[in-house]
Amino acid sequence: MKLYETLADEIEASIRQGLLRPGEKLPSVRYTSSSRAVSASTVFQAYYLLESRGLVRGRERSGYFVTSAAGLAAPEPPQASAPTEHPISVDVSDMIFKLLEESRAPDAVGLASAFPSAFLYPLPRLAKAIAGTANWMGPKRVLEDLSPGNGRLRRQISLRYGADGMAISDQEILVTNGALEALNLCLSAVTQPGDSVIVESPTFYGALQALQARGLRAVQVATDPRTGVDLHALERAIRQHAPSACWLMTNFQNPLGSLMSPADKKALVALLARYELPLIEDDVYADLFFGANRPPPAKSFDNAGLVMHCSSFAKSLAPGFRIGWVAPGRFMSRVTRNKLAFNLNTSIPPQLAIASYMEHGAFDKHLRKLRLTLSTQQAVLADAVARHFPAGTRATRPQGGYLLWVELPPEFDALQLYQDAKPLGICVAPGTLFSPEGRFRNCLRLNYGHPFGKRGEAAMASLGQLLRQQRSAA
């Protein structure tokens, strides 16, 4: 255990024992450094770790204070889902479009947003990189950068795979208009209308939209908010329903934030290989991990070429650039043909800008800062949930990403909360969005990727008041 972790654990013990009470200020960094005979850097790291655990909160120019929720028992995580395991036709688009429109309102509190705050990204530097692409835009280069995409960018993506121990060459990568296009290209490559596709329960609403658009049916599989898809339920669904593909998120799943262990990912890939079943792996949050190392994707255990690994820079670097990619394994030719048929190629200037940015080594420095910010903001939002939401509320504490799944007691209605909060300029994502049959009515997804501040605190207090009104009216 590192020195700062030992220090953080000792301070946490003092908080749990009541020696440091909610609202009290921690000793200054200088005092703690002197009294513990450690460096100021060690103290800062310990305080950052306590902040990520939701036990303390930093105040600008004031120091660190024990949070009001620190003396409370941490909320239990939500329970694993228990969906009906039969193919379901999907019809969710109207509600999703309505939510997306309302969450874009400039004055709305961003709790329902699908993206973190734009201020967390190096947009000025990327803008300069875009401006510098003019010198590269000759006629021959335009033709060279048709699908599968710009060679420099594919090379950088390949190098990042290599750094994680995955031998995926630039020739095995196709650049797309965001991850959602990559996912849809893969879906088109391995399914026909009327087929069934396995999804998690709850699942990303973009997956449900894609299934609906292609006339596919969803087979939901039980999913644990901490450990991901239930492999026994998955095999049972494969045997009973003969699906054409799986669409899963193994790292920081949307909306749960669940993370499959490397052992479970390896078992997942082995299971799918036995049934020759393709996996469309949606892996857009993997760079936003809070631990020491990036969690490996299921693709890292794939020897049969069945895993179609999809990701993008939208969550980690450049949300407005819409640059994603796919490493589709044995399905490369099918996916490439689909790409050429749909839109020929992906915009070249943003590809070049991101390639240039990555070549100069700035990406990992940006990610370290982004991950620290998100882990801190998760603690702040979780603290607010503990203080403002009713007793019996359960909430996830993901190890990455920026989405929190909240399960209210059964008598509460998150869809009604969504309706009641709209006039107050607060938008939340009700759980029914993430189910093809309107389940999870007492659940909601909250985004902690935006600075919290006074508006966030006021919004959470208002949501708590609305929930109290629900209980009174029941």
Q: How far is CA 401 from the centre of its chain?
A: 4
* Per-residue pLDDT, 94: 78
Q: How far is CA 375 from the centre of its chain?
A: 12
Residues 334, 180: Cα–Cα separation, whole Å: 17
Q: Do 3-66 and 122-363 have matching folds?
A: no
3-state secondary structure of 84: coil
Residues 77, 159: Cα–Cα separation, whole Å: 37
Q: Which residue has the tokens 């893969």?
A: 186
Residues 207, 199: Cα–Cα separation, whole Å: 8
Q: Which residue has the tokens 């209210």?
A: 408
As its CATH architecture, domain 3-66 has: Orthogonal Bundle (1.10)
Token digits of residue 200:
């998690």
Strand order of the sheet with strand 443-447? Answer: 394-395, 403-407, 443-447, 429-430
- By CB atoms closer than 10 A (0-12, 13-18, 19+), residue 447 is buried
* Per-residue pLDDT, 272: 98
Task: Categorise residue 440: left if φ over 0, alpha if ψ from -120 to 50, beta otherwise.
Answer: left
Q: What is the domain partition of the chain in residue ranges?
A: 3-66, 88-119+365-473, 122-363
* Per-residue pLDDT, 378: 87
Q: State the DSSP H helix or E strand holding residue 125, giving kind and residue range, or none if neither.
A: helix 123-131
Domain at 88-119+365-473, CATH class: alpha beta
* Per-residue pLDDT, 20: 80
- Domain 122-363: give its CATH code: 3.40.640.10
Residues 436, 91: Cα–Cα separation, whole Å: 7
* Per-residue pLDDT, 138: 64
Q: Cα separations (Å) of 281 from 30, 221, 247? A: 47, 15, 6
* Per-residue pLDDT, 304: 97
3-state secondary structure of 165: coil
Q: Cα separations (Å) of 376 from 81, 356, 381, 397? A: 28, 30, 9, 12
Asked if residues 405 and 85 have their Cβ atoms less than 8 Å apart, the reply is no
- Contacting residues for 176 by C-beta, under 8 A, at least 6 apart: 149, 182, 185, 312, 323, 324, 325, 326, 339, 346
Backbone angles phi, psi at 426, to 5 degrees: -120, 130
pLDDT one-digit tens code per residue, 415-465: 999 999 999 999 999 999 999 988 999 999 999 999 888 899 999 999 999
Q: State the DSSP H helix or E strand holding residue 224, giving kind and residue range, or none if neither.
A: strand 217-224
Residues 59, 376: Cα–Cα separation, whole Å: 12
Residues 220, 234: Cα–Cα separation, whole Å: 9
Tell whether pTM > 0.75. yes
CA-based nearest residue to 175, from 433, 381, 354, 406? 354
The pLDDT tens digits along the chain (474 residues) read 688 888 888 888 777 666 787 778 899 988 888 888 889 889 888 888 888 777 888 877 778 888 755 555 556 778 888 887 788 888 876 777 777 777 666 677 879 888 889 899 999 999 888 887 766 666 666 666 778 999 999 999 999 999 999 999 999 999 999 999 999 999 999 999 999 999 999 999 999 999 999 999 999 999 999 999 999 999 999 999 999 999 999 999 999 999 999 999 999 999 999 999 999 999 999 999 988 789 999 999 999 999 999 999 999 999 889 999 999 999 999 999 999 998 888 998 999 999 999 998 889 999 998 998 888 788 889 889 988 999 999 999 899 999 999 999 999 999 999 999 999 999 999 999 999 988 999 999 999 999 888 899 999 999 999 999 998 887
Q: Would you state the torsion angle of the CA atoms of residues 96, 437, 441, 76, taken in this order, to the nearest 10 degrees?
A: -110
* Per-residue pLDDT, 96: 74
Give percent helix, percent strand, percent coil of the chain, each to the nearest 5. Answer: 50, 15, 40
- CA dihedral for 175, 178, 184, 190, sign (positive or negative): positive
Looking at this protein, which amino acid is placed at residue 7? L
Which DSSP state fits 422? G
Q: Supply the angle between the helices 3-16 and 40-52 in degrees, to the nearest 10.
A: 50
* Per-residue pLDDT, 136: 66
* Per-residue pLDDT, 110: 77
